[in-house]
Structure formats: C-alpha cells, structure tokens
Amino acid sequence: MDIFTIITILTVLSAAFAFINTKFLKLPFTIGLMIIAIVFTVAINILGMFNPIILEEADLLIESIDFETVLLDMMLSFLLFAGALHTKLDALKKQKGPIALFATIGIVISTFLIGTMMYFLFAAFSYPIDYIYCLLFGALISPTDPIAVLGILKDANAPKKLETKIVGESLFNDGVGVVVFIVIFKIAQQGLDSMSFGDVGLLFLEEVVGGIVLGLLAGWLAFRLMKVINNFETEVMITLALVMGVTALAQYLHVSGPLAVVVAGIFIGNKSPEIAWSANTQNYVDKFWELIDVLLNALLFVLIGLELMIISLSSTYLIFGLIAIPIGLFARYLALAGPVALFKNRLDFIPKTGLLMTWGGIRGGISIALALSLEPQMHRELFLTVTYVIVVFSIIVQGLTIGPLVKRVLKKYPTAD
C-alpha cells in the first residue's frame, strides 16, 4: 500500500471519528478519537469473522505503517515544537528546579523501580525475564507523553502552578526518557561488559547536552532571520524549516532531537513575539502550529487505537498489563516524592501535588513506539501488550478523571489556585 493511500485512509478516518466525537460523544478530543478508533478496530475484527477480506485489508493497512518511525522520526518533532511554542518561559523559570529533577532523576528512579518490580512480578508468576529487559520496559514506560498531556490538560482546568509542572516535565522527560531507553537498549544488545560507567555517562551527556545546545543555536539562528524581515509567509516557513532541520541534524549528530526541538520551540515562542514578529505574523504562526497540532494529534490517537490490530491478546500478557498499571503509578509517585518534598514549601506547591502529578502523568504513543523498537529476544510481544494496556488505561481512565480529581482537590483546598 503506497504512502499517499495510507495517509488518505488515516486522514479520512480521523475526520470521521472527530465528527462522531464532536457531534455525539463530546469527549476530550484525543480521548474521544482513540476510543472510537478502538471500537472501530473491534468492529473490524468482528466483521472479519464473517468476511475475512475485510480483516485482511485492515491488517495490510496497519502492517504498512511503521508506527515507531512515523511517531519518533516524523510526528514527534512537530508535536513537541507546537507544544513548546506556547510554553511561557517565566512560568518554567519559577518551577525550573522541580521540573529539572522530575525530568531527569525522576525518570531514572522510575525506570529502576518499575524494572525491579516487574522483574519480581514475572518471577512470582514463574515467567522469568532478564533484569536488563525489565529495565528496558521501565525506561519506555516511565516518560509521560507530552502529546497526550498537553491535549488533556487543556480540558482539565488545572491550576497554572500544577499545569506548568506537568507540562514542563512532560516536554523534557520525553527526551530524557528516550536517551535512558537508548542507553539501556545498547547495554542489552552488547552486554554490560561492553560499556563502562563512563561510557554510559558520556553517551547520556552527549545526547542531552548536545540536544539542548543544538536547540539553542538553531532557535537563535531562526530568531535572527525572522528579526530582519516582516513577512508572515516566510516566517511561518522558517519555523517549519527549523523543526525539520533540527530533527535531521540531531539524527546526524547523534544528539537528542526531542530535546533540541523543545528548546528551540521555547526559545522562539518566548523571544520572537516581543522582538521579531509583528502581530500579524504571530497570529499566522500560532494558527499554523495549532492546526498542525490538531491534525497530527488526531492521526496519532487514531493510530494508537488501530494498533490494537497488532497487539497480542494473550490472557497472560493482559494479566501482566493490568498488574503493571498500579506498579507504574506507584513507581511514578515514589519518583516524584523527593522533588515534591524538597520544593513544596519553597515554591508553594498546591496540596496533593504528588498525587495530582502521578495521576496527570499520561502515557501515550511514545511508549508504544519504543516498545515496537524492541528486538524479539527482548520479549517484544509481551512488553508491547503490557505497554498498550497501560497506555489505554492512562489516556482513557486517567485522562477522563484528572479534571474531576483536580476540581475535588480545589474544592477541598479553595486557596490552592
């Protein structure tokens, strides 16, 4: 199936599902699309029992899509930039301490907690799996998905102080989480003896620091170019070229593309409106990236729903997935507890910040993409199913209840906002 046909089918499905959600379900945009896509996939499987050709065509479509490449190498940069573009630096500066700890040490702690608990879970069920592979799972499921978080928090009416922490953490822990996954993946491939502690540290620094530096340099260059002109068509094109150029260059230099794009987006979004853009240009840039955000979000969450076609529905795998849900939440709560305790009095955190950030940390497509990148000997099918169960629970259950939970906390603590 050629690429144009695939894009056409996904776009038509996304538009149809968006209409059904807007007209009838009226659920939050991303959640509604994914639920409809899952129902659609189940319906296709049922129809396939009576007409195998329908199921064959559906399988052909899904198998034609390399979800890992589509998300990590194509969609992710655009979605991160769209989110970072509207993230205000003043708010991030006030919360820079906890956000930095959440997105770095928090990810590492969560990775080891989840990996260790899953290792003992598998052992308890007489299903032994090497510890390094359990750590790989911990790394791929620990990052919260900025794409899911940004979309869902818009409808949750969370206090700004809380929203800044969750959004800021999700923007940065995504890049850090991918780097942690890459490091553990290489150790799993080559063996622990092939990489010293210094090698691991150097790889981590190259990816993280290199990504941040690349994002700053590219953002500054784009800003300087836009500052000397006043033409909204050209300036919109420069922002588009910035995202694509940074992504390609990050892959070539082996630094973190997600971090580079986030840093460039924050730089452009905070610097340009005051100095480089006219009001007309800012309006066009904002509308362009809002449209990109909505369109790619629609395609992504429809894809997540359709990925059910390739997930193994083994009862054993599903049981592990259901047990892994509280394990992931507990590990996240513990990983956040240190930074929350350290900064809660200094920065006047709202009550129950740890609980709200734990429940508001939505897992999404990035975890699925990383699970798809596992090799067969790394128990790919098992971890893919477990990941899918966690992601579906996270987006639907946590996504639909984070708003009411926030309102309940604010009602109990009316001065929290």
Q: What is the DSSP string of 30-97?
A: HHHHHHHHHHHHHHHHHHHHH-HHHHHHHHHHHHT--HHIIIIIIIHHHHHHHHHHT--HHHHHHTHH
Average pLDDT over residues 251-280: 94
Q: Are 77 and 255 in contact (CB under 8 A)?
A: no
Average pLDDT over residues 69-79: 90
List the one residue out of 364, 369, 381 whose CA is nearest residue 317: 381
pLDDT tens track for 22-56? 999 998 888 899 999 999 999 999 999 898 998 88
Average pLDDT over residues 305-316: 92
Sign, Cα dihedral of 94, 96, 98, 102: positive
Q: Are 158 and 150 in contact (CB under 8 A)?
A: no
Output the pLDDT for position 171.
87
Q: Is 73 a residue whose pLDDT tops 80?
A: yes
Q: Which position has the token pair 């589509």? A: 70
- 102 to 158, 340, 341: CA distances (angstroms): 19, 9, 12
Lowest mean pLDDT, pick from 96-100, 200-204, 225-229, 412-416: 412-416
Output the pLDDT for position 383.
97
Q: What is d(CA 360, CA 354) in angstroms, rounded to the nearest whole number?
A: 10
Q: Are 212 and 266 in contact (CB under 8 A)?
A: no
Q: Given pLDDT bands bounded at 50, 70 and 90, which one contains residue 153?
A: low
Q: Is 268 a residue whose pLDDT tops 90?
A: yes
CATH code for residues 68-412: 1.20.1530.20
Q: Are 192 and 245 in contact (CB under 8 A)?
A: no
